[in-house]
Structure 1
Amino acid sequence: MDRASPVARFWSEFAESKTALIALIVVLLMIGLALAAPLVAPQDPYDLANLPLMDARRPPGYVGSSGYTHILGTDAQGRDLLSAILYGLRISLQMGLIAGAFAFSVGSALGITAAYLGGRWEAFIMRVIDLQLAFPAILLALVISALLGQGKAQLIAALAAAQYAYFARTAHGAAAAERGKDYVEAAFSTPLPAHRVIWRHILPNCLPPLIVVATVQVASAIALEATLSFLGVGLPVTEPSLGMLISNGFQYMLSGRYWISIYPGIALIILIVAINLVGDQIRDQVNPRLKR
């Protein structure tokens, strides 16, 4: 008799996919490097007053005026590119996770509430959601970010506003399916308040598909933030994310200084692909129809 817990069974099945396991290790490694950036980075890329301009646009392996080797070279401001990438990872992950959490909370609440209310309120809420889904997320994020201006709070608001509809649609579909089941009808027939039935009974059974969407949307939020920063409407130049690092080096690509854009771009691609691979494996395990 299998006495393993659901978590242990889930992890055992997850570990069967070597690709997903490697992707998870890569994600955890990048998160660890981002958190430890102040300890492992040879330079503080945010300290603009102490950046040596004489070391600007130097190739990989250059020994700077500060005495240490710039393994990945420097950018146009004299930043050590390895340090800038580590700190950029911190910002990109921070923006993606916080924006994803806000989008998850707002979207899930709207979707489950719509399924519970039914009737005209459900139709109104879901038509608004469908209207937003008709527009590309990058277009909505770009417009909202341009209206709100630069800054972390403004960027998080723009990313969450552009992505909550995906969570709302998923939560509504899952909650609508649960709403008609016997255990929910039995719960509503008791003196329990409606909000307790929703959050204690319906929501837990809606979490598996929402978790899958969350992994995908975190990667999407990181890509959106990089795009907005590349276009100049994301974070300020004093806090360069991976997207801004790519943007800073774009003008030097044709002059042979490829490393300024290429290395941050490689770090961004690895992060997004690894998160998506983890999300794909979780989706395959959560959805029985996709199991091999």
Structure 2
Amino acid sequence: MRTETPIARFWSEFRESRIAVAALVVVVLMIGVAVLAPLIAPQNPYDLANLVLSDARRPPGYVGSSGYTHWLGTDAQGRDLLSAILYGLRISLQMGLVAGAFAFAIGVTLGIAAAYLGGRREAFIMRVIDLQLAFPAILLALVISALLGQGKAQLIAALVAAQYAYFARTAHGAASAERGKDYVEAALSTPLPARQVIWRHILPNCLPPLIVVATVQVANAIALEATLSFLGVGLPVTEPSLGSLIANGFQYMLSGRYWISIYPGLALILLIVAINLVGDQIRDQVNPRLKR
């Protein structure tokens, strides 16, 4: 009799929810079009030499001076809005995934280290993290972005600083529960180095809640990046993310040129909602108390 692997069992439970499967398909498709943006986008919105101001603020379906149809219209700079959304989606996903990965690494390291060390060092690390959690993430990211200036590296640093504490708190709670179990005590009684006990015994059993938090925080990072770009402290205008595209068309909303902001906003909402739906399903599966 063939034994079902944990991954196969997880997928079997996951696909029971049609909404979660549909959300996963949306996420995969959006990642795919973002990666392939240079190949499928009719225009490179970063190439300022190809922009024609006479094509600016044209409605969906307009045939531009370059000869191709702007299916979603153009923005105030004359960029094809479909191309700008594809490239903006690429940047938003890049910022969210990279910032989430760094925040995960830093937060998990601090949380597990605090749980393993214990005593005053644990108290000091967790009080610093609790102090940071007392401030809204958007406020902290806004201040850091304003201090560091515009740019991808600066924006990633602001997103990581605003989010690593959530991973640290989750990792600390999970590691503290695992730290007192018999298998960890047995590992500590052997002459194994501390890093081996942490990486081979504690960390693997802390991953389920951390994966759930990581899924949610990637969506939060994308939303946070869009907010910062909308406020003008994110990426420069030459590298428009979805938040920048929404901000570029905001002043034209009352003049009837709704498409400049509405279509990037719909793409952003669809991406965030899909990621959150996938995260909710994963949370339900890794937490036995939430299984229906």
Find the residue that maps to 2:273 and give its secondary structure: helix
Is 1:179 equivalent to 2:200 in the alignment? no
Residue number in structure 1 paired with 2:119: 119
The whole-number CA distance in structure 2 between the counterparts of 1:161 and 1:102 is 10
Q: Which one-letter code corresponds to 2:124 in the other structure?
A: F
2:43 maps to: 43
Relative to the length of structure 1, the TM-score reads 0.99
- CA offsets 1:85-108 (integer angstroms, 9 cap, x no match): 000000000000000000000000
Classify the secondary structure of the residue corresponding to 2:239.
coil
What are the within-5 Å matches in structure 2 for residues 73-112 of structure 1?
A: 73-112=73-112
- Aligned residue for 1:229? 229
Q: Runs of at least 4 residues of structure 1 off by over 4 A?
A: none
Question: In 2, Cα distance between the equivalents of 1:106 and 1:69?
Answer: 46
The aligned residue for residue 145 of structure 1 is: 145
Post-superposition shift, 1:2?
7.0
**Which residue in the other structure is 1:6 paired with?**
6
SS of residue matched to 2:115: helix
- Does 2:57 match 1:57? yes
5+ residue gaps, structure 2: none
- Partners of 2:270 and 2:281 in 1: CA distance: 17
Aligned to 1:131: 131
CA distance in structure 2 between the aligned counterparts of 1:242 and 1:41, rounded to whole angstroms: 15
Which residue type is aligned with residue 14 of structure 1? F
Amino acid at match of 2:285: Q
SS at match of 1:238: coil
Supply the distance in 1 between the matched residues of 2:229 and 2:263 (Cα, whole angstroms): 16
Give the corresponding residue for 1:26: 26
Corresponding residue for residue 212 of structure 2? 212
Which runs of structure 2 are paired with 1:199-278 in the superposition (5 Å)?
Answer: 199-278=199-278
Which whole-Å deviations, capped at 9, do the CAs of 1:26-48 have from their partners, x for residues lacking one? 00000000001011100000001
Corresponding letter in the other structure for 1:134 = A
String of CA shifts for 1:213-264, please: whole Å, max 9, x gaps: 0000000000000000000000011100000000000000011000000000
The one-letter code matched in structure 2 to 1:288 is P
Cα RMSD of the aligned pairs, angstroms, is 0.7
Cα distance in 2 for residues equivalent to 1:69 and 1:273: 30
Cα distance in 2 for residues equivalent to 1:208 and 1:149:
36
Cα distance in 2 for partners of 1:276, 1:131 equals: 27
C-alpha separation in 1, matches of 2:132 and 2:283: 24
1:63-99 C-alpha deviation (Å, 9 max, x unpaired): 0000000000000000000000000000000000000
In the alignment, the residues of structure 2 paired with residue 247 and residue 231 of structure 1 have an alpha-carbon distance, to the nearest angstrom, of 8
Matches of 2:47 and 2:29, distance apart in 1: 25
The amino acid of 1:238's aligned partner reads T
Structure-2 separation of matches of 1:216 and 1:98: 14
TM-score by length of 2: 0.99
CA distance in 2 between counterparts of 1:50 and 1:83 reads 13
Structure 2 letter corresponding to 1:41? A
- List gaps (5 residues or longer) in structure 1: none
User: How far apart, in 1, do the equivalents of 2:43 and 2:158 lie?
Assistant: 31
Deviations 1:142-176 (A, max 9, x none): 00111111000000000010000000000000000
Q: What SS does the aligned partner of 2:234 have?
A: coil
Determine whether 1:154 maps to 2:154: yes
% identical equivalent positions: 87
Cα deviation, 1:159-216, whole Å, max 9, x if unaligned, reads 0100000000000000000000111011111111011101111000000000000000
Q: Secondary structure at the match of 2:177?
A: helix
**Secondary structure of residue in 2 paired with 1:77:** coil
Q: Give the number of aligned pairs.
A: 292
Letter in 1 for 2:31: I
Q: Amino acid of the residue matched to residue 202 of structure 1?
A: I
Task: Give the structure 1 partner of residue 68 of structure 2.
Answer: 68
2:268 counterpart of 1:282? no
